[in-house]
Structure 1
Amino acid sequence: MGALGLVRLQTFYERVHAPTQGAALGMALILAASIVSFSVAEQRLVLRDVLIGLFLTVTTPVTLILLGRVPRLH
C-alpha cells in the first residue's frame, strides 16, 4: 500500500503520508498480537503494550512535521 502510494501520488506531503498508513496498520497488528500473546501466557489481561502504541502514535506526527519543514532541493 505504501509503495503504491509512493509511485502514484504527486506531492511530497502525499508521498510521506502513504507509507505511514502501512506503518500504522503494522504497528496496530503487532501490538494486538503482543497483547493477546502476553494475556494468554499470563492468564490475565495485559495492557502494558498500549503505552508503546500511545508513544508511537504521538511521535509519528512530530516526525512528519519535521520532515515537512526540511527545505527541499530542486
Structure 2
Amino acid sequence: MAAKKRKFSEDYGKFGFAFIEKDELQLPQCVICMKVLSNDSMMPIAFWHLKQQHPTLVLKTKESFLLKQNHSSG
C-alpha cells in the first residue's frame, strides 16, 4: 500500500512552515532553522517541531513567520 501524499496547506504558516518540492512531494520546511521534514510531518498532530525546537517562538503570529520566510528567500 502506497503512503498517503499529504498536501501543504497555507495554514501551516502559523506553525512557521513553508514547503519545498522534491520528487513530486511537498515537504514542510521550517522557516526558522530551514530543516526539511518528511511529508508525513504535515499531519496536524506532528507540528511539534515549533514547540520542541523553537519554544520561544510559539506565540508568534503567522505574519511574523511570513516575514522571516520572505527575508530568508532573498
TM-score, structure 2 normalization: 0.27
TM-score, structure 1 normalization: 0.27
In terms of fraction of residues, the more helix-rich structure is 1
In terms of fraction of residues, the more strand-rich structure is 2
